[in-house]
Structure 1
């Protein structure tokens, strides 16, 4: 029996569902760390002592500092888990994430918050690959789709808990209290993981590939940094932006060439020859491009443009969360009946339709319309993420699960970074153009004050508040300009989701082809099958 087909130990197999429940705590923590920040962004943007007085670009960096470090370290973290042991890496990652959360809660400036968010990203990078890799090692192949569906459904639980709990905390405590949600969960999870979760690693890791690891880290960091900087500057033609993006792509190209020629590659790039594998990672990247970009500015729509409190804004997200919780664990049933291609393609089309639907939302549109869109968006996500993740993970040998999980999460994070940067840049640029005329009409504003006020709706509303009665007309103008910018942005996100639907339709397998693709994706699978038949 080949190593990647070996069943888990009987004792581990008997407690596999308890192990999954514990592992879901780590996923819960990582998702909470981001979802609570979205709710708190409006408050963090307010002047001290209420907030930190963070600008729109600083808020983007608070999100993207996490993404930059997370994406840059993911692949290396997956490799270390395969080599050193996934349980050890998971426990270390959880501890670092908790320390970063505690420090973020007491940050004294936007710069400190950005630094502590980067530390959280470093810890999270070691959590996510290990969690999914352990799931692949404690479950039999036929149970893996169900386990991954539950794993993906837990994202819905985190989306529900984060904004609601964050809103409750913000109504009673300071903005940093939202980061303390993680600490009791981490404490309980570390104890349970130590007792229940088995350690696993690649039994034959081979020699290290330091050149490949270095190239992957440098390439990903340069690429994501350039994307984020372009969004911050609202201009992708600046040398600092296209230089770092181009440099990142060149380094990643060198990484691929190195891995193809290496006798002990950190990542066997031959896996990408399987269309199902490549289509799955591309689809995940594109769907998270749209999701993260829309999520970033939706909090400003509900709170700044519509006037809801942070708690109310969190409660509005419940349909999206509930749909993921209900449908993600059952997505495997749809895949068994209709095939991965049909399920993922339909999910991406529905995702595109919901994003386009946001363009119908105005400052006085009945809020139930937004709830319906959230419900369909969550349903779409629930039918994209699990089958795409299963396709990726089952394309790899069991002992390489950490590397496979890293590839899965890297494409998600880079896609999310692109979404926040590109869609955030489009939103900022469109909003600035829409509000510039109204700001020009305000007497006494310096050029610098006018530029800062036009950066975001919160900045404009802050100027309007300071001006008193003279600035009242800016409130309505800011909301109208923001809603128009949101309409333009969501239509761009819808186009990206349609591109993902095309990729899924053209390259994902259907029915039995999915299983065959997963078997033949592994280099040497044909030889193993031949040997088994002799």
Structure 2
């Protein structure tokens, strides 16, 4: 049964909301930046640890795989045992894993530590958004969610910049040192500022559903990540995708029979919820696919250093934040999310079309002309899409709602890197230069986002 979330109770609407928002944004930035920050350090890791190409790929992907697979469970743990406890536990695991990663001398151990970081991140990220939606009053919630959405998008780019800066003076180990410092700051601030939300009368954790979801999401994300290497039509990829879908179908069947499900399957019949998850998935499909391609373009084609490559992308983050925090909530309130979300997706697709024109002779102005609409469009679409997902659930299920929001982002990111990377590789191996392969990949991404804009407009249309 679908329920709408009531307003936060009066006891939860105190005056200390700004510190709460600041702390959850630091925690959020800590785990989101780690998704992409190590990309610029891969050459340094390869030289230092003598890692193979497969090992290098899994240094990046182990984090994303574990992160995505455990998100629903992490959100449910926060709902059941308290979001403050989930934040503290996740930050502790994330910080300890990062400290251990600084000392490794073997690529297999680095992969294992990145997986540990994914465990911590799966506890942290859902708790950050659910803390906002569960405690902020309605008058402040839209802007707070907008700030969260902007930080969630911009942190990946800022993480690249911070990593590039650190690599100028130290090795790849500095990237993990930054993780430790941010996690420690967020941990102490959480102890001082974040209120506890544990409910002694909350329903028991659906352990069976949690384990099934972890297995299904793990199979699905693993198969997507490995598809460019194994081939999209290979038996391993096809069977892995089929197995993941079947296990997730079993999860839906399991949840539909429970009185207190981990995730109510009926939610996907809620048009706003379905539109929000689709929009977020496609936004991050384009975003992380683009980041994956453009970092290679800037470093291999333009021969930029990691720091210069990261600096080149900062305007996208600067455009994203004001649109997500200020403009999107205002427009959604005045003209409705049914217009704002599709408009943001169309604007983002326009940016991808512009970026597809980049080649070996392009100047920075063409890159900037694509970055600004891409960042603005994502900022415009993210906030109302995020609100649509969380507003479909009551306060005591905000952790799961937040996890579903985060899962949409992670699945979209993994799919974007795999699909757009495959388009690039198929053309690159066919004898075309890198720019031509990137052109086709970004046009494919733009077409996918435009199709999503149409679908979201239909789902959100006024009856």
TM-score tier after normalising by the smaller chain length: over 0.9
Report what 1:16 is aligned to.
17
SS of 2:259 mapped into structure 1: coil
Distance in 2 between the 1:135 and 1:419 partners? Answer: 28
Q: Which one is further off, 378-387 or 150-159? A: 150-159
| CA positional deviation for 1:263 | 2.3
| CA positional deviation for 1:38 | 2.5
1:87 aligns with 2:93: no
| Matching residue within 237, 240, 243 for 1:247 | 243
| CA positional deviation for 1:53 | 4.6
Distance in 2 between the 1:393 and 1:203 partners? Answer: 22
Report what 1:442 is aligned to.
none
Report what 1:502 is aligned to.
454
Report what 1:446 is aligned to.
none
| CA positional deviation for 1:76 | 0.7
* Contact preservation (8 Å) 1:148, 1:390: yes
Gapped regions of structure 2 (runs ≥ 5): none
Q: Matched residue pairs, number?
A: 460
| Matching residue within 260, 263, 269 for 1:267 | 263
1:119-162 per-position Cα deviation (integer Å, ceiling 9, x unaligned) = 11111000011111111111012322111001112235534532
Q: TM-score, normalised by structure 1?
A: 0.82
Distance in 1 between the 2:92 and 2:205 partners? Answer: 26
* Contact preservation (8 Å) 2:7, 2:138: no
Specify whether residues 110 and 498 from structure 1 end up closer, same or farther in structure 2 by C-alpha distance, changes over 3 A only.
farther
SS of 2:356 mapped into structure 1: helix
Distance in 1 between the 2:52 and 2:344 partners? Answer: 36
Specify whether residues 179 and 419 from structure 1 end up closer, same or farther in structure 2 by C-alpha distance, changes over 3 A only.
same
| CA positional deviation for 1:196 | 1.1
Q: How does 1:290-305 map to 2 (within 5 A)?
A: 290-305=286-301
1:364-394 per-position Cα deviation (integer Å, ceiling 9, x unaligned) = 1111110221111110110111110001111
Distance in 2 between the 1:114 and 1:100 partners? Answer: 11
Gapped regions of structure 1 (runs ≥ 5): 435-479, 514-534
Distance in 1 between the 2:234 and 2:77 partners? Answer: 36
Distance in 2 between the 1:6 and 1:115 partners? Answer: 42
SS of 1:383 mapped into structure 2: helix
| CA positional deviation for 1:9 | 5.1
Report what 2:402 is aligned to.
405
* Contact preservation (8 Å) 2:299, 2:306: yes
Report what 2:320 is aligned to.
324
| CA positional deviation for 1:356 | 1.9
Q: How does 1:299-314 map to 2 (within 5 A)?
A: 299-314=295-310
Specify whether residues 84 and 11 from structure 1 end up closer, same or farther in structure 2 by C-alpha distance, changes over 3 A only.
closer
Distance in 2 between the 1:38 and 1:151 partners? Answer: 23
| Matching residue within 369, 375, 393 for 2:372 | 375
* Contact preservation (8 Å) 1:389, 1:408: yes
1:467-503 per-position Cα deviation (integer Å, ceiling 9, x unaligned) = xxxxxxxxxxxxx621121112111111111121112
SS of 1:5 mapped into structure 2: coil
Q: TM-score, normalised by structure 2?
A: 0.94
State the structure with more CA Rg.
1
Distance in 2 between the 1:378 and 1:15 partners? Answer: 30
Specify whether residues 431 and 110 from structure 1 end up closer, same or farther in structure 2 by C-alpha distance, changes over 3 A only.
farther
Report what 1:29 is aligned to.
30
Report what 1:78 is aligned to.
75
1:69 aligns with 2:66: yes
